[in-house]
Structure 1
Amino acid sequence: MAGAGAGQVLGCRDVRQVAGDRRAGFYRPRAQSRHTTGAGGTVLEAYQWSDLPSGTAARTLSLVFLLPFMLSNVTFWMRPAGRGLQSGVTVLSRLLALTLTLVYALTAAGVALDLLAWKCMGSSGCLAGRGWLSWLGGRPVGLRLALLALVPFAAVALVWFLGARQARSYGAFRLPTAKPQGDDLTALDRWDVSPRAKRLHTIHVAAALVTLDVVLLAARAAAGTSVTVVVLSALTGALLATCVVLLCVPRLLESAPIASTRDRMPLVLRAVAGGLTVATLGYVAVEPVRWPRSNGLPRYDDIVAIVFVTQTALLVALAVLALWRPGGRDRRPALLRGLGAAVVAAVAVGLAGALSGEVVYRAASLLSRRTFMLRTGDLAVPVPAYRWAILAFFLTTIAAVAAGAIIILSTRAERRRTAAAIVARDYPAPPPEAKARARRVEKAVIQASFTEQLGSLAIAYACLTVIGLAASALALAGLEPSPLAQDLLGVPSEVQSVVMAIGSYLILAVVVGLLVGGLFASRTAWFRRYVGVLWDLGTFWPRAAHPFAPPCYTERAVPELTDRICQLARRYDGVVLSGHSQGSVILAATVLRLRPEVRRRVALLTYASPLKRLCAELYPEYLGEPVLHEIGHRIGWRWLNLWSNTDPIGGWIFSGQRPGDQPALPPPAALVDRRLRDPDDVLAPPGDSTPPPIWGHTPYESDDRYAAAVRELADRLRADWEQRGPQNCAELH
């Protein structure tokens, strides 16, 4: 559980921690509590891991800024199940992740080098009243660029610090495995400490340093070429090409030795990147040269536009690869139509571009002491590529809101009919006093069914984002939003300035919303229950594509649960594993880690689970139907899944989605799902004045039907125990 507290799950307020630490641990009711046992005489124990994905408020804020990196990392795990497509999606996902690192480095360079070192320090008006800048204003241009280049380097170090987590933090919980290089659910806790993760981190750090070198050398080349410039440029280009090749050939990345101390590639790559950076800074700082006069850092805008255009090409290639299916007979997932990797990658790239444009635009606004900026003559106007990014984000958001409204209105009638049929089937002929309650239930079912429509909305937003990114190609041709809109559409410059300002404030509002949402999700259980599930799904996966993504909490949760389950299996006749929402996903990975002698004593209860509705559709290779069947086989199909039509996140796993549908699979898989009528009734029970609550996605451990499911699984375990006889549980490690 993440959103609910241990006391809520255990059904009592007086609980004590029996294992773990302050960030995650196991809890039981105290001996003096009235609720020391659960249904069927079971011993109650809850695992609370809410502080692993988020933790403190400061950590939550830092994770928000890593959101684009997290989304790009998720695309790696959205690879299709077909072996012929996995390599291509893997390469494209990692290349897109690399471009996000380049965008981040270019953003820092845009503020420090383009705005400060070049534009502001070359203007007496900008330096007026700014003593913290004027001391450097009279220095040579090369020295200013070299000194302020330390700011982007510090920014790269900062994002590494925010996304990094020391391996020793989870060292005590990690279990040894025979396949430390595996990439399935049984090796999730090994990714962040594997040598290939270290290689991936080194590649991104080297690429960030190379990006800054390219910006400096391109500006220096505008002042005239020399042998040193040519040599440094060639070496820098070769190093960047090496980083790209390492990502394009998975075998080069995956061939890291098991012992990370024997892997020399990261050491060599860091040494070369660091040496080139020092040489570039020194050369730019000390060589006397007559720098050209221009409105911005020479060729910086072209570099930004090239990266944006490259991202557009990679997104299109990823979408084409996702749509291409050999044979054409494979059933496409309902959610996102099989375009999960492309859609999430587009959202990550679009968000990163918008945030970068906002940072540069906001810094330019502060330096120029203006609220609105659009004209090229403004002192610190950002480069055209960033202006296109801000404008594209504004137009994309407006179009996405309109598309969402259209989808809601066009599907509402069908969803209303389906909800009415479900309510009529569950509560036939309700009395007049219960009709208002029945309408509330119908409304809850309508709202919950909108989850299936989010796929169409996400695809529409991704397509609009790609179109917006493609507009960056206009910057390469020297076209800017202001004159183009004025010449083609006749839009006055004043109106364009207002639109640009609105787009900037819209991005700022998104950032503030993410920050506030992150704080609420980390401190408010009810808010985290609905919004935090998206963050939990993202941080569930290791950093296989982007090393600056938020750390994967699974590297502790899965081995910690695995070890605890083995201990309980040795002590008791059996263990009923109960997982709500994201907890069911963690348990799915945990079950696959259990040894056979432990699995024979385990039963699984999932409720409000996104395993099929979200995870199997978004991550078909790792949580698809074959994996779900494998989980059922390993625990002898001692598995029950409770779901309801009012849940917007959880759902069925094997059997049909609507009540009355014929099972799509033969037993025992078809017997796993149990649809709960939610609420249990629209009338208040005898002796009570309040009808039963509508649970939705809320944990419902206090519901009698949940207790009945626990008793049923406990009875199955006891029956199997009596049939087999006592057996010793072997150690897991």
Structure 2
Amino acid sequence: MVTELRVHGVTGSPAEDVLDRPLLRRVAGDTDAGFFRPRAEYGAVTGPGGAMLEAYRWGNLTAGAAARALWLLLLPFMLANVALWLRPATRPGPRAVIRALTRVYALSMTGSFALSFVQISMDLVGWQCAAVPRCLQDRWWLGLFADGFFATTSRRLALAALLPILAVAFLWFLGRRTWVRYEAFPAQTEGDGDGLAHPCFWNGKPLVGRLRSIHIAFAYGSLDAVLLGVLVPHDRDHDYGPAGYTLAVAVAAVLVLCVVAVTVTPVVDRDNPARWARPFTRLLSHLSVALTALVLGYALLARDPWPATGKMPVLGGTVTGLFAVQVVLMLVLGAVVLASRPRGTYLQGLAGPLIASAGLGVAAAFSAGLSYRVADYLDRRSRPSTPDYANWHPLQPPAAYEWAAGGFVLLLLLVVLVALIGGVPLVSRLRRNARAVTDADFPGGRGRDAGQARHVDHAVADARVTDHIGRMLVWVFIPAALAAVVATGFALAGRRPIRLAPSGSPAAEVISFAVNLGTYLIGLSAVLLVLVGVLAYRYQRFRRIVGVLWDLGTFWPRAAHPLAPPCYAERAVPELARRAAWLAAEQGGVILSGHSQGSVLAAATVLQLPPEARARTALLTYGSPLRRLYARFFPAYVSDALLEQVGAVLAQPRQELGQHTPRWVNLWRDTDPIGGPVASAAARDERLVDPPGFDMPPGDTVFPKVDGHSGYQLRPEFGAVISGLTADLTEPQVPA
């Protein structure tokens, strides 16, 4: 008997909702990802069209609400990883350059993470606060910095270094734990992995393990470099000088090797790395841990006391310099993409640099907001930046963070301006154009009830906004990028925003207000981000917004940033392929039925099926973002050629015609903001009218509901398609 294997979308729907059956049993898989069927003893084991019902629930692979809230705080890592996959389809030369630049950028983001904790713990607490009696007053938990063994400056820094060391260690633990749970799922390991059609595309375990070792080594190396940058100049004329210089050379070598390692093919090639690649990267991580221990021991050596005044040396320049390098990487990456992109690429191929820059902005904003909140708490003040700075010496984060706080306000203003200037007229125009769709679907309906007609107009128009979001993001990105370049120049020169105006002047008041507002808005944004993550799977509105972005980002393997949220598809696709192959070959046939993101998983699964299973497999997609989102943003991986390949796998030889017809049907609606037509000869697109009727049904008190992205399987057309595909799978096959 043919089985309809349903794969849910980004909402993480329970299997009971996916099958519309209350009593189920798990027939394969586990609690993270499992296959469910209705319990036969209660009847109704078949669905519309007569196929046996089965659901694949993979929602737990993307973590629960609490875990997602934690992962959202590492959003910059996810954006850095996604940037690798957003590249346009280019020649091998530019492709290698784009990959190298993206991986170096991802490595720098790990360095920024480590430096943000260094700044909070070592600079604000160990250097600045510990040297100010007023800051230590009435704070027993800072007593170790005041007197005793850790009273000297170098030992205070060593003690304060424990926080960033533990933060990096937690990242290491989290990365390894998810590596074992996701990337370790059995998958084919031979062949070319650069494409969804290749089985080892979903075998990311070896590469992620190597990259993780490199990133951990770079994080610890960044911490060691800052600490040695303070101690070595002080020890220049002391007996400890040679030991400090030796450690500095070793740390510099580790950092350089990390940068080189993420760019050379023998290390980062997923399928055919050099035999020495894994031992080499493991050695880097172990060496970095050993060097960190030696650097801490070096800092704990007895030294003559020396005063800690102002900001901690080296750190401010390191933070600013790293940010400048990241900005340059984005500019170079954008130039390479523009020079090598094919004509007609969506957003000129700049989706990768745009998303990576967004990750850089989020990382800088989070670091700045956290630093200022800690500084305010330690210094017991309510205003991070005051216009009268002539004789003011508070605890102060680096100048780059102050620029980031002001830039956050500028970014919000840009978003509001673009929404008002571009978004409002766009929505009005789309609603006018949507009238034609409503009038064609419901002739005479506008005359019977103008309000219901407007409601349908708005649903169609709002769904079409998705097609214009990319252009609006570019309008925000260009001025924001220019502002980032200017701010980086001022930060490199050591100029804080407040010092662009005379102390106490009205201009200084305005700048001070903008910076202070930015620090508080950043903190509020971080809290809201966590709150959205917690609410994402409780309320449909949050679930749809967060779910789409989250599952788009975590669909792709961690090939750029190994500490990003894990890739659920590295388990889901091989697992689906194994189950579908068994159902097709041993159980009479299978219809892979995918909704939304589930349609992407289903299409990728088709490409993994063994030849003996393909003749008994069909594909039904609905609300599918394959063409509308994936083909636009990921053109190197979801293209016309790939869609045609999916159709070719499912082509059905017809006895009476002697030709092939596709066994892929795609349902879509004009009111769906995510899904759309496949627009390929590989599939048969069928448009559903939404809502299903215009007038209020007899005996009802409300108008028919606009389903938009949901409820496809409840429509009669859905059952008719299943029935037709079932007939195709059960009729005698003709040799191709």
TM-score by length of 2: 0.90
Shift of 1:647: 0.8
Shift of 1:687: 6.2
Structure 2 residue 85 is the aligned partner of structure 1 residue 77:
yes
- Range with bigger deviation, 396-405 or 456-465: 456-465
Taking the aligned partners of 1:419 and 1:572, their CA distance within structure 2 comes to 46
Q: Is the 1:474–1:480 Cα contact (8 Å) retained in structure 2?
A: yes
Could you tell me which amino acid in structure 2 is paired with residue 498 of structure 1? Answer: F
Counterpart mapping for 1:632-711 below 5 A:
632-636=647-651, 637-654=662-679, 668-669=681-682, 672-685=684-697, 690-711=702-723
Q: Is the 2:69–2:532 Cα contact (8 Å) retained in structure 1?
A: no
Structure 2 residue 322 is the aligned partner of structure 1 residue 313:
no
Shift of 1:11: 2.2
Shift of 1:526: 5.5
* Residue matched to 2:132: 123
Structure 2 residue 369 is the aligned partner of structure 1 residue 361:
no
Aligned match for 2:527, one of 512, 522, 538? 512
Shift of 1:421: 1.6
Could you tell me which amino acid in structure 1 is paired with residue 619 of structure 2? Answer: L
Structure 2 residue 247 is the aligned partner of structure 1 residue 243:
no
Q: Indicate the RMSD between aligned Cα atoms, in angstroms.
A: 2.5
Taking the aligned partners of 1:307 and 1:420, their CA distance within structure 2 comes to 52
Structure 2 residue 21 is the aligned partner of structure 1 residue 12:
yes
* Residue matched to 1:664: none
| CA gap 1:423/1:255 in 2 versus in 1, 3 angstroms | closer
Taking the aligned partners of 2:466 and 2:428, their CA distance within structure 1 comes to 15
Taking the aligned partners of 1:189 and 1:53, their CA distance within structure 2 comes to 19
* Residue matched to 1:565: 580
1:540-566 deviation digits (Å, cap 9, x = unpaired): 111111111011111221122112112
Counterpart mapping for 1:333-352 below 5 A:
333=346, 336-352=347-363
* Residue matched to 1:94: 103
Taking the aligned partners of 1:628 and 1:490, their CA distance within structure 2 comes to 62
Q: Is the 1:223–1:290 Cα contact (8 Å) retained in structure 2?
A: no
Taking the aligned partners of 1:551 and 1:386, their CA distance within structure 2 comes to 29
Taking the aligned partners of 2:679 and 2:193, their CA distance within structure 1 comes to 31
Shift of 1:293: 4.4
* Residue matched to 1:659: none
Query: Which secondary structure state, in structure 2, belongs to the residue aligned with residue 264 of structure 1?
Result: helix
Counterpart mapping for 1:400-549 below 5 A:
400-430=415-445, 432-470=447-485, 471-486=487-502, 491-525=506-540, 527-549=542-564
Taking the aligned partners of 1:31 and 1:450, their CA distance within structure 2 comes to 44
Could you tell me which amino acid in structure 1 is paired with residue 250 of structure 2? Answer: L
Shift of 1:417: 3.1
- Range with bigger deviation, 157-166 or 548-557: 157-166
Percent of pairs identical after alignment? 38
Query: Which secondary structure state, in structure 1, belongs to the residue aligned with residue 27 of structure 2?
Result: strand
Could you tell me which amino acid in structure 1 is paired with residue 716 of structure 2? Answer: D
In the alignment of these two chains, the number of paired residues is 704
- Range with bigger deviation, 180-189 or 118-127: 180-189
Shift of 1:85: 2.5
Aligned match for 1:723, one of 709, 726, 733? 733
Taking the aligned partners of 2:490 and 2:647, their CA distance within structure 1 comes to 54
| CA gap 1:188/1:450 in 2 versus in 1, 3 angstroms | farther
Taking the aligned partners of 2:555 and 2:32, their CA distance within structure 1 comes to 16
Taking the aligned partners of 1:172 and 1:466, their CA distance within structure 2 comes to 39
Taking the aligned partners of 1:48 and 1:525, their CA distance within structure 2 comes to 18
Taking the aligned partners of 1:510 and 1:607, their CA distance within structure 2 comes to 34
Structure 2 residue 123 is the aligned partner of structure 1 residue 114:
yes
1:30-80 deviation digits (Å, cap 9, x = unpaired): 22445321223111111111111122x331222111211011100111122
Q: Is the 2:196–2:637 Cα contact (8 Å) retained in structure 1?
A: yes
Shift of 1:688: 5.2
Q: Is the 2:334–2:350 Cα contact (8 Å) retained in structure 1?
A: yes
Shift of 1:26: 1.5
1:127-147 deviation digits (Å, cap 9, x = unpaired): 100111122223111111112
Query: Which secondary structure state, in structure 2, belongs to the residue aligned with residue 297 of structure 1?
Result: coil
* Residue matched to 1:47: 56
1:597-638 deviation digits (Å, cap 9, x = unpaired): 111111101111111111111111111221111111111121
| CA gap 1:260/1:602 in 2 versus in 1, 3 angstroms | farther
Taking the aligned partners of 1:537 and 1:260, their CA distance within structure 2 comes to 33
Query: Which secondary structure state, in structure 2, belongs to the residue aligned with residue 96 of structure 1?
Result: helix
Taking the aligned partners of 2:376 and 2:570, their CA distance within structure 1 comes to 43
Could you tell me which amino acid in structure 1 is paired with residue 109 of structure 2? Answer: L
Q: Is the 1:521–1:528 Cα contact (8 Å) retained in structure 2?
A: yes
| CA gap 1:324/1:221 in 2 versus in 1, 3 angstroms | same
Structure 2 residue 155 is the aligned partner of structure 1 residue 143:
yes
Taking the aligned partners of 2:42 and 2:416, their CA distance within structure 1 comes to 51
* Residue matched to 2:3: none
Q: Is the 1:79–1:621 Cα contact (8 Å) retained in structure 2?
A: yes
| CA gap 1:96/1:263 in 2 versus in 1, 3 angstroms | closer
| CA gap 1:373/1:169 in 2 versus in 1, 3 angstroms | closer
* Residue matched to 1:731: none
Taking the aligned partners of 2:313 and 2:709, their CA distance within structure 1 comes to 55
Displacement over 6 Å in runs of 4+: 255-262
Shift of 1:689: 5.3
Shift of 1:184: 4.2
| CA gap 1:244/1:567 in 2 versus in 1, 3 angstroms | same
| CA gap 1:533/1:451 in 2 versus in 1, 3 angstroms | same
* Residue matched to 2:234: 223
1:480-514 deviation digits (Å, cap 9, x = unpaired): 11120448x95454443332222112112221221
| CA gap 1:14/1:690 in 2 versus in 1, 3 angstroms | farther
1:574-607 deviation digits (Å, cap 9, x = unpaired): 2111100000111121111111111111110111
1:89-143 deviation digits (Å, cap 9, x = unpaired): 1111111111111111110000111001101111111110011112222311111
Query: Which secondary structure state, in structure 1, belongs to the residue aligned with residue 262 of structure 2?
Result: helix
Q: Is the 1:222–1:298 Cα contact (8 Å) retained in structure 2?
A: no
Q: Is the 2:182–2:566 Cα contact (8 Å) retained in structure 1?
A: no
1:366-418 deviation digits (Å, cap 9, x = unpaired): 10011212256343121211111111111111112211222212323431232
Shift of 1:183: 5.8
* Residue matched to 2:656: none
Taking the aligned partners of 1:542 and 1:150, their CA distance within structure 2 comes to 32
Could you tell me which amino acid in structure 1 is paired with residue 611 of structure 2? Answer: P
- Range with bigger deviation, 122-131 or 237-246: 237-246
Shift of 1:166: 4.8
* Residue matched to 2:177: 165
Structure 2 residue 405 is the aligned partner of structure 1 residue 390:
yes
Could you tell me which amino acid in structure 2 is paired with residue 197 of structure 1? Answer: V
Query: Which secondary structure state, in structure 2, belongs to the residue aligned with residue 673 of structure 1?
Result: strand
Q: Is the 1:191–1:197 Cα contact (8 Å) retained in structure 2?
A: no
Q: Is the 1:539–1:553 Cα contact (8 Å) retained in structure 2?
A: yes
Taking the aligned partners of 2:279 and 2:69, their CA distance within structure 1 comes to 35
Query: Which secondary structure state, in structure 1, belongs to the residue aligned with residue 334 of structure 2?
Result: helix
Shift of 1:697: 0.9
Q: Is the 2:36–2:55 Cα contact (8 Å) retained in structure 1?
A: yes
Shift of 1:259: 10
Could you tell me which amino acid in structure 1 is paired with residue 294 of structure 2? Answer: A
Taking the aligned partners of 2:177 and 2:344, their CA distance within structure 1 comes to 39
Query: Which secondary structure state, in structure 1, belongs to the residue aligned with residue 56 of structure 2?
Result: strand
1:637-676 deviation digits (Å, cap 9, x = unpaired): 2101111111111111115xxxxxxxxxxxx43x521121
Query: Which secondary structure state, in structure 1, belongs to the residue aligned with residue 445 of structure 2?
Result: coil
Q: Which runs of 5+ in 1 are unaligned?
A: 656-667, 728-733
TM-score by length of 1: 0.91
Shift of 1:252: 3.5
Shift of 1:690: 4.4
